[in-house]
C-alpha cells in the first residue's frame, strides 16, 4: 500500500512488535492497513469520533482483509481522549493530521485516564502547527524523546515525534536532533517559523520574542 510521506515516516518508526497499535484520528485508515499487512501488532485499533467515516472505514477493512491472514482489528467510533488502555500491554498511540492544541489535549487526557498503563506506552504524533506549545506540553507530562524528524510533503512542513515515558532523550521546545544545517529545506522551515512568530509579537511580545530567539538558535547546537 502506497502511503503519504508523513504516514510512511510514521510507519517506519513502528519497528517493534506491539500488543496494540492505536491509529487515532485515522481518516481513511491507510496507516493501520499498512500495519495490518506488516503484522507488527497483535491488534490494530482504528479510532475516530465521526460515525460516517468509521462506518466507511469498517467496510473498507472488511474488503481489505478478504483472502488475507491479518492480525485482529477493531473500528471504534469514540472520543480518542476517552480510550481505555489495557494494563500490561505494550502499545503505541498514533495521532496525526490534527491541530497541535487538540493533539496535546488528547495526550494529556489519555495519560490522566490511564495512570496504570503508561509504563509500556509510547506516542507517535504528527500535529499540524503549534509544535512549540505541543513540545512544552509533552515535557510537562514527563514524556521523553525517542526520535524526531522534519517531513516535507506537498510544500508543507511537519514534525514527527516519537515519545514515551522510558525513553532517554530530552524533549526540547524547538527540537534538537531533527535540524540539519546542510539541508536548505530545514532553513526554509526555520524561516517560516520565525515569520509566523514575528507576526504574533503584537499579541504577547515578551513570550513570542522568547520563542523567536529560541528558533533563531536551532542551528547553533
- pLDDT tens-place string over residues 129-165: 999 999 999 999 999 999 999 999 999 999 999 999 9
Residues of the chain with pLDDT under 70: 1
Predicted pLDDT of residue 1:
66
Per-residue confidence (pLDDT) for residue 69, from 0 to 100: 93
pTM for this model (two decimals): 0.96
Task: Identify the pLDDT of residue 28.
Answer: 85
The pLDDT of residue 7? 96
Residue 142, pLDDT score: 97
For residue 27, the model assigns a pLDDT of 77
**CB neighbour class for 206 (10 Å; exposed up to 12, middle 13-18, buried from 19):** exposed
C-alpha cell at position 24: 487515532
First to last CA, the chain: 38
Residue 92: count of CB within 10 angstroms of its CB: 24
Amino acid at each position: 500500500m502506497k502511503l503519504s510521506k508523513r504516514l510512511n515516516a510514521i510507519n517506519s518508526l513502528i519497528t517493534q512488535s506491539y500488543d496494540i497499535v492505536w491509529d487515532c484520528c485515522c481518516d481513511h485508515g491507510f496507516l493501520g492497513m499498512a500495519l495490518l499487512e506488516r503484522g507488527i501488532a497483535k491488534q490494530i485499533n482504528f479510532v475516530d469520533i465521526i460515525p460516517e467515516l468509521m462506518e466507511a472505514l469498517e467496510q473498507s477493512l472488511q474488503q481489505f482483509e478478504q483472502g488475507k491472514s491479518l492480525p485482529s482489528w477493531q473500528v471504534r467510533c469514540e472520543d480518542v481522549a476517552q480510550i481505555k488502555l489495557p494494563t500490561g500491554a505494550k502499545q503505541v498511540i498514533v495521532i496525526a493530521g490534527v491541530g497541535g492544541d487538540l493533539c496535546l489535549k488528547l495526550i494529556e487526557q489519555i495519560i490522566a485516564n490511564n495512570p496504570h498503563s503508561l509504563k509500556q506506552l509510547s506516542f507517535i504524533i504528527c500535529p499540524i502547527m503549534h509544535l512549540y506549545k505541543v513540545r512544552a506540553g509533552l515535557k510537562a507530562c514527563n514524556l521523553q524523546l525517542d526520535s524526531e524528524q522534519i517531513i516535507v510533503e506537498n510544500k508543507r512542513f511537519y514534525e514527527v515525534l516519537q515519545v514515551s515515558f522510558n525513553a532517554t532523550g530530552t524533549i526540547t521546545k524547538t527540537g534538537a536532533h531533527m535540524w540539519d544545517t546542510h539541508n536548505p529545506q530545514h532553513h526554509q522551515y526555520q524561516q517560516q517559523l520565525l515569520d509566523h512568530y514575528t507576526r504574533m509579537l503584537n499579541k504577547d511580545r515578551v513570550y513570542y520574542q522568547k520563542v523567536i530567539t529560541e528558533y533563531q538558535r536551532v542551528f547553533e547546537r
